[in-house]
Amino acid sequence: MSLTLIVLLPFLGAVLPAVMIRAGRNACATATGSVTLLALILLIAKAPAVIGGEVFQVRYEWLSELGLNVTFFLDGLGLLFATLILGIGLLIIIYARFYLSKDDPMGRFYVFLLLFQGAMVGIVLSDNILLLLIFWELTSLSSFLLIGYWKHLPEGRQGARMALTVTGAGGLAMIAGMLILGNIVGSYDLTVILQNADLIQASPLYVPALVLILLGCFTKSAQFPFHFWLPHAMAAPTPVSAYLHSATMVKAGIFLMARMWPVLSGTPEWFYIVATAGLVTMVLGAWIAIFKHDLKGLLAYSTVSHLGLVTMLFGFGTPMAAVAGVFHIINHATFKAALFMTAGIIDHETGTRDIRRLGGLLNLMPIAGTIGIISAASMAGIIPLNGFLSKEMMLEEAWHTVWLDQNWIVPLLATVGALFSVAYSLRFIFHVWFGKTRDELPHHPHDPPFGMWAPPAFLTVLVVLIGLFPAAIAGPLVAATSNAVTGGNLPDYYLALWHGLTPALAMSTIALIGGALLLLRHGGLMSVTANLSRPDAKAMFDCLIVKVVALCRVISDNLHNGSLQRYLAVMVFAAIAIGLSGFYAEPDHTAGTRELLAVSPPAAIGWVLLVGTCIAAVAMHHNRLLTLLLVGVIGLIVSLGFIYLSAPDLALTQISVEVVTVILMLLALNILPKETPKESQPGRKFRDWVIAIAAGLGMGGAVWAIMTRELPNSISAYHLANSKIEGGGTNVVNVILVDFRGFDTFGEIIVLGIAALSIFALIETVTQGEAAKRLASWVVDNRRSADRHPMMMVIATRVMLPLALLVGVYIFLRGHNEPGGGFIAGLVVSVALVMQYMASGFGWTQNRMKANYHGMIGLGVIAAAITGLSAWVAGLPFLTSGFVHVHLPIVGEFELASAMGFDLGVFLTVVGAVTLALAKLSQVERMAEHVDINPEPMDHDPSAAAQQVATAEKEA
């Protein structure tokens, strides 16, 4: 349970900053930090066991048939990344408290940060790839909010859009790759997938799955050619940059490559794609970083380079390279977070991040300077800091790597990348902290408050300690993580500062000397490179987006011209084409052997009426009112067909739906033209006739083929046999809706609620502004009855209302064992309410309807959700029903089923949706009759609008 709590705490705690900001900035930061600290404590409590080789796992069944379960597991790799996410996240929370100004909405910042933190923890602890994909996309969305936090800055908004576009596109590719992987193995559980390396690599789908998954990893971790989005994310506040670059966003792709290493690595495809991309990214990112004048820009491209270094190591595919990659992940997180926070301190205290305007800051900011120099020296790989250790391991592995039968390419380029890394690191040290002190800075520099320098100072201490005592400080965690990455194939190694005179040491020495010389020639290089023509990734991205948008606009304008007739023709024609392709793909079309039922006179009469009414509706479609009535008649005939075929539930539903929809559509049609526009041209009419006839014949043929064949494997037999046993009800239809396929019903009531709210939103615009003025000036084009509310109808409907409500309650209660249920009961009650509006008028009825329609819809969905979630408490899958039989005095044997709660949710959603639509349509009706009504939303005070209408009626 504590493992689940570690994942959920950031999401649950995201509410606190929004609330606690009212108590002040300190209280807000304390509440936010407490959430992360609690999750970190729960994680650290499991660390000794995980380092000892134990794996913690928790599983919640949800949709097992689809492979979608809520499962988490904690091994060495998950422990490392979760510790980085929560540990550095806690430091960032402290740092941000002092970095953000009073004008920055701190509560909103911490809400976004915790949401992002929770998504990242979810990625690294997920044991189900479908669940991992959900968290993966959540990181893209939440990072979009963080990067665009300063929404008043155009570069912040563009950087957020660019990050979302690139990482989101890669995420879509990765979804496809993960689904292929799950299909190969037959399971979506990571622990199962990681045990089937041979099966995966032997599959013909291995390469497509590999490429698609790597697209997701490369875009998230800014690997070439997707590296350009990361530097533009620097428009975010520095705490965001430090968090994204050191421990979270960009490390997600690295994590996934490490997680999938046991099953995807070891093949030529993996080596050449991953190692090559990493090597190119490492060299290119380091080269660009040398010439960046913005401190955060330099650090951003250095992050790109170091991510390429780790990617290259994982791409080598050897266990020792994987160990080096794991170790560098730890080292990079410590010195890079410290460097970004130091850059934020410089910007905060001097007012600029331009290296050309900085210099001599060590004398003015000795604490920040010490932190920055040590961290940058580690980034350069200078002994005895931790960056030196993992850089030496990387160079050692590069020395033994052969690329395209050439054993010099990788060592040479790795050395060049290390040389560039030294150059930009030394530039950060000497051009910022040493040299002449500048007097033209916007602010007078000085060391920041303790809360700003303490977090990077803590990380700098780790940089030194890991460098001096690597085996004691980082050794156990590196071993546990590497063991998880390599699948238990851990090589013999030891972490130490000195490994003797090795090729790696020589390569490192060359890099240090070459980097220092390159820095001495930095001014000349700047002059030379300034005149070189080089591609601008941002310009290319912007151009691509413009071209894609233009292409989409052309396609949209040509396909979506506003003709519903064309849309319907395209969809139906596509369905016909798919059906024909399936029909002709199977050459053997034998006739069915099932005997037909005898055609009775009532069935023949019903069929003739149905066909005749359908033909009449098509022939008279130009008259909208008549067409609507004919459609209602068709629905009633279909209801009779359901009764004839012994389906009373469907008949009740059909009749109720027809009554409600016909009345609502009558209200809508009353303010629309009564005749259809000009008919189509003969050619289009002929096309539509051909498509309609083909579709009708195809549907008829499909129905005939199904009904004339025996279906021994039909699921209906299972439903009939288990309805009473497992669902506790004899009404199979209702048990299917609330138990066997309750998830479908749950989705349907959500859609119904959304549809009702959409109606509300659309009509609300009609009741205000210019649209309301046009509606008020509408001249009624047909005669109206002088007696708008006949007395007999008023009395009859008011007398019938309590009876109808009682019938609705009766149908609701009997639905589990007899025809009925929440949906039908909701429609019956809706019909009773609709009759009140028709008979007594909008004003009278609305004045007596005190219900909040929006709240009723929401309450219905919540009631259904709570019923489904309660099954988890009993350890059962979502929406599993429970039932019990009790004996009550007088009543006798009585059944109680949890499905009643679900049915209640359906009932409330249906009644709320119908009455909301009815109220808004009635409101427009009254406006069309020149009655001034309250334009405020009806759910705010339904009685106020009704009272105003009633008053207007009395005055009239």
CB 910 within 8 A of CB 857: no
Q: What is the mean pLDDT of the chain?
A: 85
Query: Nearest 5 degrees, angle CA 15-CA 16-CA 19?
Result: 95
Whether the pLDDT of residue 133 is over 50: the answer is: yes
* Mean pLDDT computed over 722-749: 85
The pLDDT value recorded for residue 949 is: 43
CB 945 within 8 A of CB 844: no
Question: What phi and psi, each to the nearest 5 degrees, are found at residue 849?
Answer: -95, 100
Task: Give residue 147's Cα distance to chain centre.
Answer: 17
Residue 667 pLDDT class (50, 70, 90 cuts): confident
Residue 946 pLDDT class (50, 70, 90 cuts): very low
What distance in Å separates the CA atoms of residue 502 and residue 927, rounded to the nearest whole number? 88
CB 529 within 8 A of CB 220: no
Q: What angle, 0 to 180 degrees and rounded to 10, lies between the N-to-C axes of helices 238-246 and 295-316?
A: 10
192: amino acid identity, one letter? V
943: amino acid identity, one letter? S
Beta bridge partners of 73: 57
* Mean pLDDT computed over 55-79: 85
Both tokens of 385, joined, read 């800091």
What is the CB-side half-sphere exposure of residue 73 using CA atoms within 13 A?
Answer: 18
What distance in Å separates the CA atoms of residue 143 and residue 162, rounded to the nearest whole number? 11
Both tokens of 943, joined, read 């009685």
Question: What phi and psi, each to the nearest 5 degrees, are found at residue 492?
Answer: -80, 125
Both tokens of 189, joined, read 């559980």
Whether the pLDDT of residue 943 is over 50: the answer is: no
Distances in whole angstroms, Cα of residue 38 to Cα of each of 31, 47, 78, 683: 11, 14, 17, 71
Q: How many CB atoms lie within 10 A of CB 789?
A: 12
3-state secondary structure of 323: helix
What distance in Å separates the CA atoms of residue 495 and residue 507, rounded to the nearest whole number? 19
Question: What phi and psi, each to the nearest 5 degrees, are found at residue 398?
Answer: -65, -35
CB 335 within 8 A of CB 463: yes
Residue 560 CB-density burial (10 A; 0-12 exposed, 13-18 middle, 19+ buried): exposed
Distances in whole angstroms, Cα of residue 293 to Cα of each of 154, 340, 354, 355, 360: 20, 15, 6, 5, 16
What distance in Å separates the CA atoms of residue 453 and residue 294, rounded to the nearest whole number? 21
What distance in Å separates the CA atoms of residue 487 and residue 260, rounded to the nearest whole number? 10
The pLDDT value recorded for residue 541 is: 79
What distance in Å separates the CA atoms of residue 44 and residue 50, rounded to the nearest whole number? 10
Q: What is the pLDDT of residues 590-610, one digit of tens each?
A: 888 888 888 888 889 989 999
Q: What is the pLDDT of residues 874-889, one digit of tens each?
A: 777 777 887 777 777 7
What distance in Å separates the CA atoms of residue 622 and residue 615, rounded to the nearest whole number? 13
Question: What phi and psi, each to the nearest 5 degrees, are found at residue 399?
Answer: -60, -30
The pLDDT value recorded for residue 953 is: 47
**Residue whose entry in the numeric block shows the structure tokens 């709240």:** 855
**Residue whose entry in the numeric block shows the structure tokens 């007097």:** 439
3-state secondary structure of 102: coil
- Residues composing the chain: 956
What distance in Å separates the CA atoms of residue 735 and residue 85, rounded to the nearest whole number? 45
Q: What angle, 0 to 180 degrees and rounded to 10, lies between the N-to-C axes of helices 450-468 and 76-99?
A: 150
Whether the pLDDT of residue 765 is over 80: the answer is: no
Residue 534 pLDDT class (50, 70, 90 cuts): low
CB 369 within 8 A of CB 447: no
CB 136 within 8 A of CB 252: yes
883: CB partners within 8 A, 6+ apart: 727, 728, 729, 895, 896, 897, 898, 899
CB 819 within 8 A of CB 649: yes
CB 740 within 8 A of CB 879: no
Beta bridge partners of 74: 56
Q: Which helix (H) or strand (E) holds 306?
A: helix 295-316
pTM check: above 0.75: no
209: amino acid identity, one letter? A
Q: What is the pLDDT of residues 373-428, one digit of tens each?
A: 999 999 999 989 999 999 999 999 999 888 888 889 999 999 999 999 999 999 99
* Mean pLDDT computed over 651-674: 81
| E strand map for 56-105 | 56-63, 68-74
* Mean pLDDT computed over 181-209: 91
Q: What angle, 0 to 180 degrees and rounded to 10, lies between the N-to-C axes of helices 295-316 and 249-259?
A: 0
Beta bridge partners of 884: 896
The pLDDT value recorded for residue 931 is: 43
Q: What is the pLDDT of residues 122-132, one digit of tens each?
A: 999 999 999 99
What distance in Å separates the CA atoms of residue 86 and residue 259, rounded to the nearest whole number? 19
CB 184 within 8 A of CB 199: yes
- Spans of all domains in the chain: 266-515, 604-677, 714-780+787-956
The pLDDT value recorded for residue 929 is: 56
**Residue whose entry in the numeric block shows the structure tokens 């606190």:** 16
Whether the pLDDT of residue 734 is over 80: the answer is: yes
* Mean pLDDT computed over 168-178: 91
231: amino acid identity, one letter? P
Query: Nearest 5 degrees, angle CA 501-CA 505-CA 508?
Result: 165
DSSP result, 668-726: HHTTS-SB--SPPPHHHHHHHHHHHHHHHHHHHHHHHHHHTS--TT-HHHHHHHHHHHH
Distances in whole angstroms, Cα of residue 52 to Cα of each of 124, 466, 476, 479, 593: 19, 20, 9, 10, 66
* Mean pLDDT computed over 282-308: 90
CB 68 within 8 A of CB 107: no
Residue 85 pLDDT class (50, 70, 90 cuts): very high
* Mean pLDDT computed over 877-904: 77
Provide the sign of the torsion angle of the four alpha carbons 356, 359, 364, 366, taken in this order: positive
Whether the pLDDT of residue 242 is over 60: the answer is: yes
3-state secondary structure of 232: helix
Task: Give residue 891's Cα distance to chain centre.
Answer: 50
Nearest to 912 by CA among 760, 747, 690: 760
The pLDDT value recorded for residue 328 is: 93
Q: How many CB atoms lie within 10 A of CB 449?
A: 9
Instruction: Kindly provide the b/e burial profile for residues 675-698, where b requires at least 16 CB atoms within 10 angstroms of the residue's own CB.
Output: eeeeeeeeeeeeeeeebeebbeeb
What distance in Å separates the CA atoms of residue 633 and residue 635, rounded to the nearest whole number? 5
The pLDDT value recorded for residue 558 is: 79
What distance in Å separates the CA atoms of residue 473 and residue 344, rounded to the nearest whole number? 28
The pLDDT value recorded for residue 412 is: 93
The pLDDT value recorded for residue 942 is: 42
3-state secondary structure of 34: helix
Residue 552 CB-density burial (10 A; 0-12 exposed, 13-18 middle, 19+ buried): exposed
The pLDDT value recorded for residue 546 is: 87
Query: Nearest 5 degrees, angle CA 771-CA 772-CA 773?
Result: 90
Nearest to 922 by CA among 657, 667, 659, 625: 667
What distance in Å separates the CA atoms of residue 938 and residue 845, rounded to the nearest whole number? 13
What distance in Å separates the CA atoms of residue 468 and residue 462, rounded to the nearest whole number? 10
Nearest to 34 by CA among 46, 20, 47: 20
Beta pairing class for 883-888 and 892-897:
antiparallel
* Mean pLDDT computed over 502-516: 91
CB 60 within 8 A of CB 70: yes
* Mean pLDDT computed over 576-589: 83
Q: Which helix (H) or strand (E) holds 895?
A: strand 892-897
